[in-house]
Chain A
Amino acid sequence: MSTALAMQAPPAAPPGPVVRGSGRERVASWPLLDRVGYWLTWVTGVGLCLIALAIVLFMFFKGISFLKLSMFVQSPAPEPIQSKSGGFLDPIVGTLIVGVLGTVIAAPIGVAIACWLSEYRRPSWLARTVESAIEIIAGTPSVVLALFGLLIFSQSFLAFLSQRAADGQVYGRSFFAASAVMAVLALPLIVGSTREALSQLPDRLREASYALGRTRATSIRRILLPAIRPGIATGTVLGLGRIIGDTAIIKILLGVNLLNEGVGHVPLVSTLRGTGATLTTFVFENSPSGEGNAPQKAYAAAFVLMMIVLALNALVTWLSNIGGERRTVSTFASRLLRLGGASWTR
């Protein structure tokens, strides 16, 4: 029975008195201890922002004032007069080589370890051991890693990765050696971020794949890894930033010169077997505590280094925001291309 009552439309506003919330709590009404805590966190937060801002501004003005475009194309020269000591072409190339090679070594291994740890975990004692090992590596100072790396790469059977001194000793210092140890440095970051991303995926995605008669390996390769591409990218870029910023490994495993010196005659391999410099060691050598003592060069190079790292951080944020459902290779690549295109046209 539908006896529809004719409902009268209510007026636009309630006829009685209206109570409005202020939208925020009144801190003044809190207990004293709460207020102290609140203001302490507030002051700390603002202080941190100020420190970050100070670093950026300081480096920006110091760096800009000493930076010349010619520095990007000139190799460093061992001259006591600063105006003749050249630029930092070799260190920039060195940073690129170590960064790319280290990441290329670390990323596949890191992703594979993460997949094994979160999808297989058999035998479980081994998984727990691997987890502890990764934590130990993550907590090891890079100087210690570098010393260990020097020990490894000085073995005579690894001579083909560096060079032999006149007395037959293996030198153990090369782009290969530095990049390999750098990869160890970046590994925990890549493993951690990949595992995190895998653990966020719902189990129903895995079950859906298993229920279609797909093996774990196929499910990982075709469903899980494509779905966590932003997570992998984030870890990789974080690792890359760590590699680019490290000084100790370069200092110990890449030699102490400012120029990239190849070994042998095979074009690319000779560079990789040889010694060289990166921006971090360049800054160190030119700082007042280094041998060069050319602080202007150090500031300029430090500025460039910081810009690279800030750009990588921005890249991480941007990659993590590739959200939604369409995380395909093509969108990823097109974003990178668009990014590249944008910077080329400028």
Chain B
Amino acid sequence: MPPPVRRIAVDRDPTIAPPRTISNGSGPVAAAQSTRSRSSRPPATNVRDRMSIDGVWLAYGENWVVRDVSLKVRQGEVLALIGASGSGKTTLLRSLNRLTEVTDGAARSGEITLDGQDIHELEVNDLRRRVTMVFQQPNPFPMSIFDNVAYALAERPGRGGRRRRRSPEIELAVSDALKRAGLYDEVADDLERPALRLSGGQQQRLCIARALAANPEVLLLDEPCSALDPISTATIEELIVSLRESVAIVIVTHNLQQAFRVADHVAFMHLGELVEYGSSEQVFDRPAMQRTRDYISGAFG
């Protein structure tokens, strides 16, 4: 095992003074609430397991960047993966739709299931349509808004002709996905506009719309707001909370307040290990592990 990036005291309180923003309340929770309230959110209902991660190890080459992680991904809930850079959150996220396999030398061990089926027994493109992903940088394709979303729609084999040909059902599916992503009203007047002319926040919501158009069971978000301004971030956070009823959501974030605002469950990872997992109230208010306490109080990260 490699030495930790920074040695963390396990048996005493953090010695580094917490940042000012959290010193004038009672911990990070108060700080998060002072920025934007979370209390208006209805509690999660109709929660059920979608994915199960069981003793998963992941490596690039011989470097095991995720070690023995077990988690549950539930529909009706948002799961946030938090942790410092290099803690393996993004790798874990990318393994959920086997996007790690695109990289040479990626290795894995352990079991990940989607609705009880091992994802490595599913056809990979099938899996990626059921578990779609939104990336850190907005990455719309260099084509129109409509075509961007239509590209994600399931192929209709045996029909012949061009798939891009408009049909009422495709148009309906596209506008539906744009509505779910909260972008429709802003772009409805001209869906033929090039996607790259949208603002950064709109581009990211277009990417979410694209990911939703495939009608996935699980939506993976890899730091979706890190390239965005606060207002776009707030819009997308509200969107995430509103989507959790219809799709299971896993979000990787560096932003603890964001994790607190959107997540129902939080998993704190450090150097590839899962340190703590629990409801977000529990992890943020009463963390069981000293390392979690250090991290969320700003001692490192």
Contact = CB atoms under 8 A, between A and B. Distances in A.
Main secondary structure of the interface of B (DSSP, over half): helix
6 contacts: A204-B135, A209-B151, A213-B126, A213-B132, A325-B143, A326-B194
B205 to A, nearest CB: 14
A223 B164 CA distance: 13
Interface string B207-220: 10011001000000
Interface of B: 97, 99, 102, 125-130, 132-133, 135, 137, 139-144, 151-152, 194-197, 207, 210-211, 214
Interface string A321-345: 0001111100000000000000000
Contacts of B144: 328
A108 B135 CA distance: 33
Interface residues of A, number: 22
Shortest Cβ-Cβ A-B pairs, 5 listed: A213-B129, A213-B128, A325-B196, A211-B133, A325-B194
B214 A212 contact: yes
B214 A327 contact: no
A213 B129 CA distance: 5
Given A207-B102, A325-B194, A326-B194, A213 B214 contact: yes
Contact of B151 (A212, A227, A325): A212
Nearest to A328: B143
Nearest to A208: B139
A212 B128 contact: yes
B129 A226 contact: no
B142 A227 contact: yes
A223 B141 contact: yes
B207 to A, nearest CB: 7
Interface of A: 202, 204-215, 222-223, 226-227, 324-328
A208 B142 contact: no
B97 A208 contact: no
Contacts of A226: 142-143
Contacts of A215: 125
A211 B194 contact: no
Contacts of A205: 139, 141-142
B152 A212 contact: yes
A326 B144 CA distance: 8
B102 A208 contact: no
B125 A213 contact: yes
Contacts of A222: 151
A123 to B, nearest CB: 13
A202 B99 CA distance: 16
A207 B136 CA distance: 12
A211 B151 contact: no
B197 A211 contact: no
B139 A212 contact: no
B275 to A, nearest CB: 28
A209 B148 CA distance: 10
Given A212-B129, A213-B129, A325-B196, A207 B143 contact: no
B135 A208 contact: yes
Contact of A204 (B130, B137, B211, B214): B137
A205 B148 CA distance: 12
Contact of A208 (B125, B129, B141, B194): B141
Contact of A212 (B195, B197, B211): B211
A181 B13 CA distance: 78
Contacts of B210: 208, 212
Contacts of B128: 210-213
A210 B135 contact: no
